[in-house]
Amino acid sequence: MNGAGMQDLVRRLYPLCRSITGEGLRRTLQIIDESIPLRITQVPTGTKVLDWTIPREWNIRDAYIKDAAGDRVVDFQDSNLHVVGYSAPVEATMSLEELRGHLHTLPDQPDLVPYRTSYYAETWGFCLSQNTLDGLGDGPYEVRIDSTLADGHLTYGEHVIPGSSAEEVLISCHVCHPSLANDNLAGVAVAVALARRLSAPRYTYRFVFAPGTIGAIAWLALNRARTDRIRHGVTLACAGDPGDITYKRSRRGDAEVDQVFAHVLKGTPHTLLDFSPYGYDERQYCSPGFDLAVGSLTRTPYGSYPEYHTSADNPDFVRPEAMEHTLETLWSAVQVLEGNRRYQNLSPYGEPQLGARGLYGSLGGRSDTKQAQMAMLWVLNLSDGTHSLLDIAERSNLPFQALADAAHSLQSAGLVKEWMG
């Protein structure tokens, strides 16, 4: 899936009214399932998940504010951002003064509609541009939100690509936001593209598409016994804006996945952030009881671009080339994770004679002969069971793939073996 294909998926998902529960969420997972098969889990309302409880399911069919002439001055059918997420049903006639406490705008961005939710405190409200609000008269207004809050389910989906090892790499995306393209449909599209590219990996790759916070907590609660299989992981969000790549380290700070992203981002414009217990679902995976090695990959981080959580975060804001760049960055990290191993030099006393084993001759005519030779020497010198190929890449300033190729050649010649200690 290329950038255009990822943007097509973003455009298809964009109109759906997603939330932490409900039909919009389930329809989103159904569409993802058309590209990569998902195993769907439904968690009933009232289920205790760690310190949380699955809330009632929210669904909405229509909502509006009508003026005295019967015109919809605020219309859910125009944008699902116009209704505060999880709004309770309401049907009333109100003056503008009575209505104001239920209206949300962005005075500093008067053309835009904000995104607001109220998952756990029952209320209702509308979001509109400040310009629209400024143009409203005193009323009266017909106010209607045709929604339901009832026992139902929280739904999440998983796609698993088995590897030769049962150890897992976790790729997690939240799928609870309504019409917001960068946060987080671009991340969903990149995850789908990565899943379609992976084939016969070393690790088992687990893709989790779940509503933010409560969805990740539910997944952790239901999979508590298997979390020790997760060796590396990343949350994906804000993957399509024009900003540079940002990687936020895991709680551990020096986990292998943190080292891998620092390595693959060298030489490109990027930002590395230390862990903080605020952000996306990495804070759930990195909670101290689990302490999983899960970082966060974004472009411009949440809250740091003016379109964030507004109607300006639309499909035209995300760029195909930006999603492709995010995908290729993630793919480079995956390639390093897949190839990173420790080796043991089987001829550690003095430098072994590489020419006698045909190793120098096999490099003849290559444009990177000198680099390949140096890669072999570095792998031989540091293959003592304590240095991984990534460690060697960092110390030698040689490309990781050159060192992985060198290790393969040396192993074929019987000079090193994979360290199993």
Task: Find the length of the chain.
Answer: 421
Looking up tokens 């191993």 gives 341
Average pLDDT over residues 317-344: 96
Which pLDDT belongs to residue 370? 82
Average pLDDT over residues 217-221: 98
State yes or no: pLDDT of 103 exceeds 80: yes
Instruction: Give strand pairing partners of 310.
Output: 114
State yes or no: pLDDT of 132 exceeds 60: yes
Which pLDDT belongs to residue 420? 80
- Reported pTM: 0.94
**Distance set, CA 109 to CA 96, 106, 113, 127, 347 (Å):** 21, 5, 8, 13, 67
SS (H, E, C) 352-365: CCCHHHCCCHHHCC
Average pLDDT over residues 135-153: 96
Looking up tokens 């690790």 gives 203
**214, 52 Cβ separation under 8 angstroms:** yes
pLDDT band at 283 (very low <50, low <70, confident <90, very high): very high
Provide the strand spans (E) within 80-177: 90-94, 103-104, 126-127, 141-150, 153-161, 168-174
- 54: closest CA among 180, 230, 213? 213
| The two three-digit tokens of residue 209, written as one number | 């598409």
For the chain, give the percent of residues with pLDDT over 70.
Answer: 98
State yes or no: pLDDT of 365 exceeds 60: no
| The two three-digit tokens of residue 415, written as one number | 């000079």
- Domains, the chain, in order of start with CATH, read 3-55+153-338 (3.40.630.10), 60-150 (3.50.30.90), 342-418 (1.10.10.10)
Which pLDDT belongs to residue 158? 98
pLDDT in tens, 84-99: 999 999 999 999 999 9
**127, 104 Cβ separation under 8 angstroms:** yes
The annotation places the binding site at 177, 183, 309
**113, 128 Cβ separation under 8 angstroms:** yes
The annotation places the binding site for Zn(2+) at 177, 183, 309
SS (H, E, C) 367-398: CCHHHHHHHHHHHHHHCEEEEEHHHHHHHHCC
